[in-house]
Amino acid sequence: MAVTVVIPTTLRLFTEHHSEVELEGSTVGEILKVLSEEYPETRKALFDENGQLRAFINVFVNDENIRDLNGFDSALKDGDEVILIPAIAGGSGTESVLGDRTGEKLTNEEINRYSRHLLLQEIGVKGQKRLKAAKVLIVGAGGLGTPLVQYLAAAGVGTLGIIDDDEVEESNLQRQVMHGTRDVGRPKVASAKDSVKQINPLVKVITYNTRLTAENAEEIISEYDVVADASDNYQTRYLVNDACVLLGKPDVFGAMYQFEGQAAVYYAKQGPCLRCMYPAPPPAGLVPSCAMGGVIGVLPGVVGTLQANEVIKLIVGGGKSLIGRVLSFDAWNLRWRELKIHKNDNCPICGKNRTITEIEDFDYEDFCGITQQKEEEQKVESIEPKELKRRIDAGEKVTIVDVREPHERAIAKFPEAIVIPIGQLDRRKKELDETVDTVFVCKEGKRSILAVNTLREAGYTGPAYNLRGGTNAWAEEVDKSFPKY
């Protein structure tokens, strides 16, 4: 059986950057076995030490999750697609999440401003009054938060809450278009509030210049009708999901990486939650952030606008929402896929036998591998940029290994470095002299830690160091002419 296996961006590192591969097999299990034989590096990414599929990976045959078919025994036919959907950081028309609550009478100014909504039978005056009465919390004021803030403000959502503890950086401006050059260094929530004022001064904005935590999540989220998750890390995503489940709120989810995006509505009252889809996140460091892996500037606009659309539908009522469905978008190949998801009876927070009842008691850092990652980082010896520079200038023998990808090295080559991407380290470890100090270099000093640990697991015993802070720290502390990116 000729079957197409669709490889997500996060796993293409292990498949020589192929986005699709044609393989022969009659069941999903056979196909995954052939895949791991042809591309051995995929085995560790897809399966744990017991040979079980990792919890953060979902496998679909066309649009059906194999969990809802026959698992690895799910039969395949010619032309089928086997789609790997890792975590990236349904139904018919639904009633409004506001129930019977509607807003005050629209003023003449509002009738004029929202006239194009009022002309739509599906929204009309009643729907616009609901938008006016609604309170929406946007978690994150970055790439996904930008279109959410802008379009929900323009749509006339009465109250927007925006939570983010970050400041605007120059590298944000490539995609976070509600922030401008003059906003660099300002809190993102302050810039976002100014953007709303310019778009629609009738909207009330509540800002939280802090991080969403297990201590403040329920208190904040309880004040809102809908939560739009525009965060960029797994611990916040699971925290938002759990708080929404416990409080009975819909979680309008968006995620993106490089050229791929996902949108869904996780609403335990009417369908599955995030944990039904992804029982566990990927191991820390396996899926890079946009800061490490990059993202095409228009992608958050596409995904965030989809999220804004789902928020509006939930408030107004009607339409076919993304409850029970994940919409996957590949911007580079311009392909859309719709994948069905179902409620998991074994889900620890919305299943039949719940084990999570209080988010304050749940360790999200440990669950998302952050604690383990910190411990792993502590095990890896680091060298400061200035110390490496001193050793190079003194003519000391040291091997520098640049583990960045080729397109990153095209931005700037690191001096005196040999090139071995992380995906090749295991099979190329013999190229390294175990009697010489070896320093691993990446952009931020995170992948280089992964590189050292990968070599250790492969049996490498030589002295290995991580360049603390990576090339960005080198640019800050040693060579001001070296570009930061």
Q: Are strands 438-441 and 399-402 parallel, antiparallel or unpaired?
A: parallel
CB atoms within 10 A of CB 206: 16
Helix-helix angle 188-199:145-155, to 10 degrees: 30
Residue 43, CB half-sphere, CA atoms under 13 Å: how many? 11
Among all residues, which ones are annotated catalytic? 290, 442
> Would you state the structure tokens that stand for residue 50, as one six-digit string?
């017991």
Q: Which of 122, 129, 118, 165 is nearest to 145 (CA)?
A: 165
3-state secondary structure of 226: strand
What CA–CA distance (Å, rounded) separates 264 from 322?
5
Which uninterrupted H or E stretch holds 336?
strand 335-340
The label of the residue with tokens 């040693």 reads 478
Q: Would you call 22 helix, strand, or coil by DSSP?
A: strand
For residue 358, what are its two tokens?
Answer: 């209080």
Six-digit token string for 408: 């990153």
> Would you call 371 exposed, middle or buried from its count of C-beta atoms within 10 A (0-12, 13-18, 19+)?
middle
In contact, 247 and 222? CB cutoff 8 Å: yes
